[in-house]
Amino acid sequence: MSETVQPLSVLTDDERAFQGAVAEFAQGEVAPRVAEMEKNARLDPTLIPKYFEMGLMGIQVPEAFGGAGGSVMMVTIAVEELSKVDASAAIMVDVQNTLVAYPMLSAANDEQKKRYLPALCESQIGAYALSEATSGSDAFALATRADKKGDNWILTGRKLWITNGAEADVFIVFANTDPSKGYKGITAFIVERSFSGFSVGKKEDKLGIRASSTTELILDGVVVPATNVLGPVGQGYKIAIETLNEGRIGIGAQMIGIAQGALTAATAYVKERHQFGKCIADNQAVQFQLAQAATELAAARLMVYDAARLKDAGRDIAQAGAMAKLFASQVSERVTSLCVELFGGYGYTKDYPAEKFYRDAKIGTIYEGTSNMQLQTIAKGLLK
C-alpha cells in the first residue's frame, strides 16, 4: 500500500527504524513458515528463539531486567508488523508483552521481578489465565479457588482459552481466595509449569490464529508458594482490569496488521487480474471499495496509536483502549471480507492469503473483551 495511508508522521525516527526492523524480520523469518505453521496448527519452535534474539519478548521491560526498555508504542508497532504476515506469530509476542510482562512490572515485588523478568526476556514464554468455562465476559465469576495452607496457596479449578498455553513456562493465574467477598476475593498468582498439580489440558482446534496455541489449564491442587502472590491478596481484580486495558491496545494492533496484510495482497491482485479485457483495478467500483477500506484502516490505526501514546503518557486508557479495539476489530472484519471478494473464487481457497486473513480477523471481536463489552466500557465512560 502507498505510504499515504500509513501515519508515519506520528512515529519518531527510532520507532520507524524499529518498525522497519520488525517488518524485515516478519518477511524474512515468519513469512516462509506461515503455510507450514497453519497446516500443523503450531508455531514453528525454531521461530520462538528468534523472537528472544530480536528483543521482541520484553519490549517494555527495563534494561536492568534484561528487556529493551521500550514503550507500549513499540509493542504496538511490533504486533502490527508481525500481524501483516501472520496473526498467530504476532499474538505470542503480544501476550508476552501486554498480559505477562506488564502486570509483572506493575504489580510484582522486587524479588519477583528479579526472578521472572530476565527469564521472560531471554527464553521463557508467559501466559495469562483468567477465563473459565462459566466466566468469559463475566470474568469475575471465576470459580477457581485458592486456599491458604501454611506457607503455600493451593489452587483448584480449570482455565480455558489460554493463549500460549502449550508453550508457556510461567502463568499469571487468577483465583478466588475468599468467594464470600465476590470479586474482591480474586487474587493473582505467578504459577510455574513445574509446580505440583499443574497440567495443560486440551488444545483447541480453532477457526483462525490456528498456529497460536489455545489450551485448557488443569489446576489440581497446585501448590503455589506464598511468595508467588502477585500484588496484594484480594487485589487481583484490579490487576486483571489494568492488564486487559493495555492488552486491548495489542489486539487493536493485531487487527490493523491483519487488515493491512489483506489489503496489500488484494491491491496487488486487482492490478494483475483481468476481466472484460482490462485489469479489474481499472473499474471505479473496485477503486472506491479499496479507497473506503484504506480510509477506515487509517482511522483505526490512528486510534490504536493514540491509545498506545496515552498509555505511555500514564493516562487512563480504559475508554480509548476499548474504542481502539472495538473499531479496529470491526474494520479488520470488513476489510478482510472485502479482500476475499476481490480475489473472487480464489479468495475462498487456501492457495491465496485472503481467506486466512479473513479467518484470523474474527477473533478480534471476541478475545480480551467482546465487542459488546467494549461498548459497555465506552458507554460507562461517556455517562460517568
Active-site annotation, residues: 368
Q: What stretches of the chain adopt beta strand conformation (E)? A: 126-129, 145-149, 152-163, 170-176, 186-192, 198-203, 214-225, 229-230, 274-275, 278-279
Cell numbers of 16, please? 520507524
Distance CA 269, CA 88 (A): 24
Query: Which single residue is written with the C-alpha cell 503518557?
Result: 313
For residue 219, list its beta bridge partners: 157, 198
Position of cell 496457596?
Answer: 153
Can you tell me the distance from the alpha carbon of 167 to that of 214, in angstroms, rounded to the nearest whole number? 10
How far is residue 226's CA from residue 330's CA, in Å, rounded to a whole number? 42
Which phi and psi angles does 191 have, rounded to 5°?
Answer: -115, 130
Interstrand relation of 170-176 and 126-129 (parallel, antiparallel or unpaired)? parallel
- Residues 6 or more apart from 84 whose CB is under 8 A from it? 23, 26, 257, 258, 260, 261, 264
Cell output for 210: 490456528
Question: Is residue 193 helix, strand or coil?
Answer: coil
Query: Is residue 251 within 8 Å of 367, Cβ to Cβ?
Result: yes
Hey, which residues does 87 pair with through a beta bridge? none
- CA dist 217 and 224 (Å) reads 15
Neighbours of 232 (CB within 10 A): 12
Task: Output the CA angle 96-300-74, nearest 5 degrees.
Answer: 35
For residue 6, the tally of other CB atoms under 10 A from its CB is: 15
CA atoms 293, 296, 299, 305: torsion sign: negative
Measuring CA to CA, which residue among 41, 189, 83 is closest to residue 128? 189
